Amino acid sequence: MSGPLSHIRVLDMSRILAGPWAAQTLADLGAEVIKIERPGTGDDTRTWGPPFITDEEGQETKESAYFLSTNRGKKSIALDISKPQGQEILKGLAKTSDVLIENYKVGGLASYGLSYEDLKKINPGIIYCSITGFGQTGPFSSRAGYDFLIQAMGGLMSVTGEPDGNLGGGPQKVGVALTDILTGLYTNIAALSALHRREKTGVGCHIDMALLDVTTATMANQALNFLVTGEVPTRMGNAHPNIVPYQAFEAADMYLIVAVGNDRQFSGFVEVAGRRELANDERFSTNAARVENREILIPIIREFMKQKTGQEWIDELEKKGVPCGPINNMQQVFKHPQIKARKMQIELKHPVAGKVPQVASPIKITGENIEYQGAPPTLGQHSNNILTEMLGFTKDQIAALKKDKVIDF
């Protein structure tokens, strides 16, 4: 297998989304990723459906679309780490691994002798990534935390949704588990940085990633708006707290996004609307003035936006260099010519379904082609091969382990 990380082995002991997303990204870049799963059940998301994929005969399987979204390119071993034999197998794999990703509760793996302190004794160079809701320290460190909860506690839901009092007003979560995904990406940044440092020092480290930290950090301008002014940001629907106009508007036949990022774009926008005088109006001539007077400007824009169809606005505004576009559903996304040109939908061979659809990696590197290592695995699909080829177990030893329910395949 080629790829910039083809020399790296990763143990993925995580479940749900944040950790698996990190590990899948590393697999896309060529890393060998071994997913450790519980015998009989596996990753929780295997059962998070419907929808489930169908086999080649059209019968529904136990493989959920959710699991398929975040586990491609991995090898699955069904291993019971609560048993001493399972712990020894895990240690054997950790001895030759570069990165370990886990999302057990704080101290959870220590009870099995599989903490960072335990594993660094047999592999001083291991990069041990722990992902939790609240981190390894602090008064909330022992608490469990799912994405939805952390979106709420980290402030994201306080600025997402229509304002209180509006139709549909109130806090809203983001439509995907964004906190999990961002935590997975930050985990990758930390792990790759630690691998680079290890090249100089020869020493690994323990990476402590918390969903709450990531959510707080990625509140970006909303967080700094508060820290600078002391004013608590509120929900503004599709509007932007620092840029105007920068939101959804209703045209004659559809909603579309108009994202005016500077004064030049505003001039082009109002010229297309036949309202050039607005660009010279001191209330609207600069972005700061438009933010100050948004309650006056936005109703004016809403009125003239209805005078053209969405496509007419898009065609004319694009000629002026004003960012705009439709609000696509997923069907429209995958039919979009730009998405097709970028080859963002692929298919991979699957042992049960024949083929399964996948969303391609967005990473494109000059001189490197993403070579997908395979579809998301079935539970324990690679248990036998991992034990024989990586750890040297005999058929009899493997049969005994299976009989004792230490492994499954």
Provide mean pLDDT across the span 158-181: 94
In this predicted structure, the answer to whether residue 1 has a pLDDT above a threshold of 70 is no
* Distances in whole angstroms, Cα of residue 21 to Cα of each of 152, 202, 203: 21, 27, 25
Q: What is the pLDDT of residue 369?
A: 84
The CATH H-level superfamily of 9-217+348-408 is Crotonobetainyl-coa:carnitine coa-transferase; domain 1 (3.40.50.10540)
Mean pLDDT, to the nearest integer, of 246-273? 97
* Residue 2 confidence (pLDDT) above 90: no
CB 73 within 8 A of CB 24: yes
Q: What would the mean pLDDT of 276-282 be, rounded to a whole number?
A: 97
Nearest Cα residue to 11 out of 31, 35, 30: 35
Architecture of the domain made up of 246-332: 2-Layer Sandwich (3.30)
Q: Which residue has the tokens 């209330």?
A: 283
**What confidence tier does 92 reach under pLDDT thresholds 50, 70, 90?**
very high
Average pLDDT over residues 160-186: 95
Query: Looking at residue 46, what is its pLDDT?
Result: 96
φ/ψ (deg, to 5) at 359: -90, 125
Instruction: Please determine, for residue 368, whether its predicted confidence score (pLDDT) is greater than 90.
Output: no
Give the separation between CA 32 and CA 347, rounded to whole angstroms.
Answer: 20
Which one, of 207, 224, 208, lies nearest residue 216 by Cα?
224
**Active-site option among 28, 43, 80, 180:** 180
pTM (two decimals): 0.94
How do the domains of the chain map onto residue ranges? 9-217+348-408, 246-332
- Return the percentage of the chain with pLDDT > 90, whole number: 95
The 10s digit of each residue's pLDDT in 106-129 is 999 999 999 999 999 999 999 999
What does the mean pLDDT of the chain come to? 96
Between CA 264 and CA 228 the distance in angstroms is 28
What region does 9 belong to: left with phi over 0, alpha with psi -120 to 50, or beta? beta
What does the pLDDT read at residue 339? Answer: 98
pLDDT digits (tens, 9 = 90+) for 296-354: 999 999 999 999 999 999 999 999 999 999 999 999 999 999 999 999 999 999 999 99
| Average pLDDT over every residue of 100-107 | 97
Nearest to 43 by CA among 72, 73, 82, 71: 71
DSSP result, 171-222:
----SS-HHHHHHHHHHHHHHHHHHHHHHHH---EEEEEEHHHHHHHTTHHH
Assess whether pLDDT exceeds 80 at residue 134.
yes
Active site residue 404: no
**What percent of the chain clears pLDDT 70, i.e. is strictly above it?**
100
pLDDT in tens, 9-57: 999 999 999 999 999 999 999 999 999 999 999 999 999 999 999 988 8
Structure tokens at 402: 């299976």
Task: Report pLDDT digits (tens) over 370-407.
Answer: 889 999 999 999 999 999 999 999 999 999 999 999 99
**Hey, which residues does 249 pair with through a beta bridge?**
256
